């Protein structure tokens, strides 16, 4: 099956620094990638949708200047949490969809971000 990887799997940073999370589709071309945020014991909340080569579409309430998304190639999308604060601590999960399957998303293993 299709595999999506995320790097790093966990990261701890100081308040005020920026953190970049990578999401890669390993064996397929992902025309669309999604970024989700998950708080403990809660569901996944969609943050943004990114299509390769174009600007990401952010969900209502998500600060686009805070959470920078780049989808420069068909196999890589990055999420940069800028000037991170403790309230940004969360589990970030990406998913990817290839152009052949509009309904199925393949999820990455997630990145645990802790901001001190």
Partner 1 sequence: AQSVTQLDSQVPVFEEAPVELRCNYSSSVSVYLFWYVQYPNQGLQLLLKYLSGSTLVKGINGFEAEFNKSQTSFHLRKPSVHISDTAEYFCAVFNDYKLSFGAGTTVTVRA
Which stretches of the chain bind partner 1, using CB under 8 A?
4, 6, 32, 34, 41-44, 46, 49, 91, 93, 95, 102-110, 112
CB of 95 to partner 1, least distance (A): 8
- CB proximity list for 69: less than 8 A, separation 6 or greater: 35, 48, 50, 56, 77, 78, 79, 80
Pick between residue 17 and residue 26 the one whose CB is nearest to partner 1.
26
Pick between residue 4 and residue 19 the one whose CB is nearest to partner 1.
4
Pick between residue 52 and residue 82 the one whose CB is nearest to partner 1.
52
Q: Rounded to the nearest 5°, which phi and psi values hold at 87?
A: -70, -10
Token duo for residue 59 = 């969900």
Token duo for residue 1 = 């099956």
CB of 52 to partner 1, least distance (A): 14
CB of 6 to partner 1, least distance (A): 8
């Amino acid at each position: 099956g299709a595999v999506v990887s995320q790097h790093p799997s966990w990261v701890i940073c100081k308040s005020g620094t920026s953190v970049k999370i990578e999401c890669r589709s390993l064996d397929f071309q992902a025309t669309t990638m999604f970024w989700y945020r998950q708080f403990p014991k809660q569901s996944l909340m969609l943050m943004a949708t990114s299509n390769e080569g174009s600007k990401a579409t952010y969900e209502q309430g998500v600060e686009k200047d805070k959470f920078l998304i780049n989808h420069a190639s068909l196999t890589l999308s990055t999420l940069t949490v800028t000037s991170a604060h403790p309230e940004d601590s969360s589990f970030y999960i990406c998913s990817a969809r290839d152009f052949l399957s509009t309904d199925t998303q393949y999820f990455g293993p997630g990145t645990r971000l802790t901001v001190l």
